[in-house]
């Protein structure tokens, strides 16, 4: 791996689900796809941790499963150490799977009830044909602070507490000494004191082992604890990307602002501003072009029917919002054209999309 | 994503090395727990008793199945009521009922075990493959199952036996090739549930092969249910075979309990010789109830006990 090359690079990654029945196909009906993940571009560098936040149904889980290689992207490309995954051979996928490991949200579901801790940890070792099983298992259990390992290794999941189960899940992810950890809300099902210890454990491990982490959550407070950079996702698209501190202090996109406003403040006398957004997120079907947040946005303008560009707001934050660039000076003619296109005339929709996609 | 075609052959290959340690370990754990439950012990001991009879019955029986008993005066003892010499009396043609009961345990045990084995083998192959592979494979397999569901068991059995010839083994095969449908359906739904759980995804994400996931994760997690269906299959095969015997479409020369009832009925003396028909009837009833209850409690104890619906769906 060369210097400064991202370990994992997503380029306009797209995952649409089309539920086309035989009848639709015979009648030649067009079924609108569910745009679960739409043109997501993220770079993950070595020893960096990137957070993706967003409400339920915004495509976080689909993104994660695409990253795991469980779904095939319908568009865009995913690069692992510079190699496009769409051209991976079986052996390369196996290598990818060894180096990209996952920690799930629900510790009660992420361990096989019929497996002891030993079986759970042994499986990845057997699949990848590694030796020194006992030694590796003991070492990894010590790393996740299940001490002494002998006391835990022959237990079944039902004999472990929630926090201990999650430590075993982390151990399973670490035992292959991966480069990247995908974490799907790894602490959201744990109580608060356990959350803190698991988060500390994760961030220590990252530092010690030089891991990169892709952390997915809906909970800003845990994300900010562990991530360097946060991507805010709404209905399949990333709407803002900023360093963690920055997004907490001055969120740019109206949706991020609403998210930050919604973080509870542990002071009963603090009179915080109520969030201004109402309603629920739409289904990601037939959204048309334009900003996906436009129906709930307190700052809604006419121009929001056009897909917003990604603009660099102040050198640190990148937001996809019309509030942050001057349309007049950019290219007024093009924008007006696009507006007309978006409101329903026929030709060159492709062109408009292409333009909007340029950051 | 999944390699669809070779899966069947590889799964069946996997079954042969199913003697892996944790399958045995889980079974032992569950068995240990069952010994704590008194009612389960009663059912289990009755089943063990029937199995033992099946093994040694013909040797400990005082008379052969076809020995015609004559009294001291050389006359056949027809329809003799129970006495010390003949604890369950004799039949109309002078057979010793008690001996025939002991001898009849073997065909009953054989038909139950064979039927149950075939049922659970086909049922779990179809159910697990359909559930895990999904897509077109699932569609084909489950429509096949639905088709079999449309088959009325007893009339079909009679017709098929007419084709293949009246025989002991034939009757078991016919029953088993219809009754796998229930287990296939329920096991498929179980697999559908399990395959979405995160430990399967984690295993996939590590690069575990499909046959290995099925053998190591899916099968152990539906095994308790499979054991229950095996037990139910044993019970069903026994009782339906008894029904077929009574209808006279089973080999009358294999002295199973069902055939004994048939003979008693055919002689026209059921009302007079109660000792001839009631004991085999009770034995069949007790055996079947025991297998059902045994399977049920095995599943309840080792499966966590939250599957009330399975027994109902099994019919």
| Cross-chain Cβ contact A106/B203 below 8 Å | no
Which residue from A minimizes the CA distance to B25? A114
Residues 6+ apart with CB under 8 A from B310: B186, B225, B228, B299
For the segment A217-251, what is each residue's pLDDT rounded down to a tens digit?
A: 887 878 888 888 888 888 888 888 888 888 888 88
- Return the structure tokens found at A175: 């035992």
CB atoms within 10 A of CB B102: 22
| Per-residue confidence in pLDDT tens, chain B, 315 aa | 444 444 444 444 444 444 456 667 666 766 777 677 777 888 888 888 888 888 887 777 777 767 676 666 666 666 667 776 767 777 777 677 788 888 888 888 888 899 999 999 999 999 998 988 888 888 899 999 999 888 888 888 888 888 877 778 888 888 888 888 888 988 999 898 888 888 888 888 888 888 888 888 888 888 888 888 888 888 888 888 888 888 878 777 778 888 888 887 877 777 777 777 788 888 888 988 888 888 887 777 765 544 444 444 444
Which residue from A minimizes the CA distance to B217? A112
Provide the CATH topology of domain B7-314.
MetI-like fold (1.10.3720)
Q: A15 in helix, strand or coil?
A: strand
Using CA atoms in the order B90, B91, B96, B102, what is the torsion angle rounded to 10 degrees? -120
Strand (E) or helix (H) holding A208: helix A192-209
> Looking at the complex, does the CB of residue A102 fall below 8 Å from at least one CB of chain B?
yes
Kindly tell me the sign of the dihedral angle through the C-alpha atoms of B269, B274, B276, B277.
Answer: positive
* Residue A197 vs residues A86, A145, A190, A200: alpha-carbon distances, Å: 38, 10, 10, 5
B301 vs A107: CA distance, rounded Å? 23
B26 contact residues in A (CB cutoff 8 A) = 114
| Cross-chain Cβ contact B216/A123 below 8 Å | yes
Render B122-182 in DSSP notation, one character per residue: HHHHHHHHHHHH-HHHHHHHHHHHHHHHTS-HHHHHHHHHHHH-S-HHHHHHHHHHHHHHH
B217 contact residues in A (CB cutoff 8 A) = 112, 114-115
Render A214-255 in DSSP notation, one character per residue: EEEES-HHHHHHH-SEEEEEETTEEEEEEEHHHHHHS--SHH
Strands A100-103 and A75-80: unpaired
Name the nearest CA neighbour of B125 among B113, B141, B110.
B141
Q: B145 in helix, strand or coil?
A: helix
Strands A180-184 and A212-217: parallel
> For chain B, what are the domain ranges?
7-314
CB B12 within 8 A of CB B125: yes
CA A293 remoteness from chain centre: 18
Assessment of whether the complete model's pTM goes beyond 0.80: no
Q: Which of B26, B199, B204 sits opposite A70 (nearest CB)?
A: B204
Cα(first)–Cα(last) distance of chain A, in Å?
26
**Model-level ipTM above the cut of 0.85:** no
More confident residue, B1 or A279: A279
- Return the structure tokens found at B263: 């003979």
A109 contact residues in B (CB cutoff 8 A) = 197-199
B130 vs B143: CA distance, rounded Å? 11
| Cross-chain Cβ contact A112/B212 below 8 Å | no
A102 contact residues in B (CB cutoff 8 A) = 201-202, 205
CA distance to partner chain B, nearest, from residue A220 (Å): 23
| Cross-chain Cβ contact A104/B202 below 8 Å | yes
Mean per-residue pLDDT over chain A, rounded? 78
B301 contact residues in A (CB cutoff 8 A) = none
CA distance to partner chain B, nearest, from residue A356 (Å): 33
* Residue B32 vs residues B35, B290, B298: alpha-carbon distances, Å: 5, 18, 11
A228 vs A50: CA distance, rounded Å? 6
CB A265 within 8 A of CB A272: yes
pLDDT of residue A302: 77
A217 vs A1: CA distance, rounded Å? 29
| Cross-chain Cβ contact B207/A169 below 8 Å | no
A162 contact residues in B (CB cutoff 8 A) = none
């Amino acid at each position: 791996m060369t210097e400064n090359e991202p370990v994992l690079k997503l380029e306009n990654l797209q995952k649409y689900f089309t539920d086309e029945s035989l009848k639709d196909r015979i009648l030649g009906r067009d079924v609108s796809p569910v745009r679960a993940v739409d043109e997501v571009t993220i770079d993950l560098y070595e020893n960096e941790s990137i957070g993706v936040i967003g409400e339920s149904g915004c495509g976080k889980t689909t993104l994660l499963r695409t990253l795991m290689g469980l779904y095939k992207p319908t568009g865009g490309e995913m690069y692992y150490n510079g190699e496009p995954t769409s051209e991976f051979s079986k052996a390369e996928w196996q290598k990818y799977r060894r180096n990209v490991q996952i920690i799930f949200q629900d510790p009660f579901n992420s361990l096989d009830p019929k497996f002891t801790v030993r079986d759970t940890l042994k499986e990845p070792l057997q699949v990848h044909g590694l030796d020194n099983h006992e030694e590796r298992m003991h070492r990894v259990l010590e790393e996740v602070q299940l001490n002494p390992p002998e006391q835990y290794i022959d237990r079944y999941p039902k004999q472990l507490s929630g926090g201990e189960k999650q430590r075993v899940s982390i151990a399973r992810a670490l035992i292959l000494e991966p480069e990247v950890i995908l974490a799907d809300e790894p602490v959201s099902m744990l109580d608060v004191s356990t959350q803190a210890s698991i988060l500390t454990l994760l961030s220590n491990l990252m530092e010690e082992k030089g891991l990169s982490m892709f952390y997915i959550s809906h909970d800003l407070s845990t994300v900010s604890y562990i991530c360097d950079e946060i991507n805010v996702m709404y209905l399949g698209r990333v709407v803002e990307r900023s360093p963690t501190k920055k997004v907490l202090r001055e969120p740019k996109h109206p949706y991020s602002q609403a998210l930050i406003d919604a973080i509870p403040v542990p002071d009963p006398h603090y009179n915080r501003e109520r969030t201004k957004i109402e309603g629920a997120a739409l289904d990601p079907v037939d959204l048309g072009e334009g900003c996906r947040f436009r129906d709930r946005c307190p700052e809604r303008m006419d121009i929001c029917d056009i897909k917003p560009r990604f603009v660099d707001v102040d050198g640190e934050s990148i937001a996809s919002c019309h509030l942050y660039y001057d349309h007049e000076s950019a290219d007024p003619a093009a924008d007006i054209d696009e507006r007309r296109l978006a409101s329903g005339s026929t030709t060159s929709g492709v062109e408009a999309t292409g333009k909007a996609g340029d950051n | 994503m999944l390699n669809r075609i070779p899966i069947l052959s590889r799964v069946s290959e996997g079954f042969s090395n199913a003697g892996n340690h944790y399958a045995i370990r889980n079974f032992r754990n569950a068995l240990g727990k069952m010994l704590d439950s008194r009612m389960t012990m009663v059912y289990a001991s009755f089943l063990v008793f029937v199995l033992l009879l099946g093994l040694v019955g013909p040797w400990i029986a005082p008379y052969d199945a076809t020995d015609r008993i004559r009294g001291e005066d050389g006359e056949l003892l027809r329809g003799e009521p129970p006495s010390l010499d003949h604890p369950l009396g004799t039949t109309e043609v002078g057979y010793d009922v008690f001996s025939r009961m002991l001898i009849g345990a073997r065909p009953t045990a054989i038909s139950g075990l064979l039927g149950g084995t075939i049922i659970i083998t086909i049922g779990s192959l179809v159910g697990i493959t359909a559930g895990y592979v999904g897509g077109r494979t699932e569609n084909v397999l489950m429509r096949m199952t639905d088709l079999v569901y449309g088959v009325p068991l007893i009339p079909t059995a009679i017709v098929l036996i007419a084709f293949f010839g009246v025989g002991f083994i034939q009757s078991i095969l016919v029953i088993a090739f219809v009754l796998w449908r229930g287990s296939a359906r329920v096991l498929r739904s179980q697999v559908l549930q399990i395959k979405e759980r995160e430990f399967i995804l984690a295993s996939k994400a590590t690069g575990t092969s499909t046959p290995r996931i099925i053998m190591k994760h899916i099968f152990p997690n539906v095994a308790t249910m499979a054991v229950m269906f095996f037990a139910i299959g044993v019970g069903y095969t026994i009782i339906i075979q008894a029904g077929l015997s009574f209808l006279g479409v089973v080999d009358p020369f294999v002295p199973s309990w069902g055939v004994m009832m048939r003979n008693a009925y055919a002689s026209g003396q059921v009302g007079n010789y109660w000792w001839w028909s009631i004991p085999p009837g009770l034995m069949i009833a007790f055996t079947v109830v025991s297998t059902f209850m045994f399977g049920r409690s095995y599943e309840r104890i080792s499966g966590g006990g939250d599957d009330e619906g399975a027994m109902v769906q099994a019919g």
